């Protein structure tokens, strides 16, 4: 029998300061010695999760980008479900010019954004990735695992959620990870 512990990162394993406490590290080590397997499941990018894993010096399974990518104990990608290229293109353009919403994209090992206005609930301090700016006409829409929109204007995000669901239906999964962060992944996951 396998003993598996799956854990989210933000607000669960990590403190509000984006850290793992000494106590939590000790418990994880004890459980690993008792032959438990750990799965870190998060909306975060794989690279961010790897940094956390490496700080613990353990081998784990990783589910990243809200289930779009899954990695085995050897850090090999074993499952990938990217957004359809046409859908990704339309999502990247839908609010690109809206100054109250930041459009953010995870593509391969890159993180792209359209603007970095802190007042739009932009959380770059939580990530070890360095973002790059994107322009829809220049972006290749292959291998996009996740697109998310952040804003302090929650009403606009709720309207956007309804619009995306009405247009794409079950071709995408749409959810709020926190009130100011609307996340979209492929509907086939």
Catalytic residue positions? 8
Beta strands in the chain (DSSP E): 3-7, 36-41, 61-64, 69-71, 77-80, 102-107, 110-113, 132-133, 144-150, 172-178, 181-186
β-pairing, 36-41 vs 181-186, is: unpaired
* DSSP H or E run through 53: helix 46-56
* DSSP H or E run through 165: helix 154-168
3-state SS class at 141:
coil
DSSP characters over 110-136: EEEES---GGGT--GGG-SSPPEE--T
Provide the token pair at 21.
């406490």
**Phi, psi at residue 177, to the nearest 5°?**
-85, -35
């Amino acid at each position: 029998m396998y003993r598996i512990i799956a854990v989210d990162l933000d607000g669960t394993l990590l403190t509000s300061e984006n850290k793992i406490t000494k106590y939590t590290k000790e418990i994880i080590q004890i459980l690993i010695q008792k032959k438990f397997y750990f799965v870190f499941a998060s909306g975060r990018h794989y690279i961010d999760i790897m940094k956390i894993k490496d700080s613990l010096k353990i081998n784990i399974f990783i589910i990243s980008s809200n289930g779009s990518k899954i990695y085995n104990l050897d850090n090999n990608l074993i499952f990938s479900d990217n957004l359809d290229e046409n859908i990704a293109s339309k999502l990247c353009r839908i609010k690109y010019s809206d100054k109250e919403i930041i459009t953010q994209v995870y593509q391969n090992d890159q993180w792209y954004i359209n603007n970095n206005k802190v007042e739009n609930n932009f959380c770059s301090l939580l990530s070890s990735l360095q973002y790059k700016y994107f322009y829809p006409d220049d972006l290749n829409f292959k291998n996009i695992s996740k697109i998310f929109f952040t804003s302090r204007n929650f009403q606009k995000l709720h309207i956007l959620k309804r619009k995306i669901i009405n247009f794409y239906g079950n071709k995408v999964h749409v959810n709020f990870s926190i009130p100011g962060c609307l996340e979209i992944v492929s509907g086939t996951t």
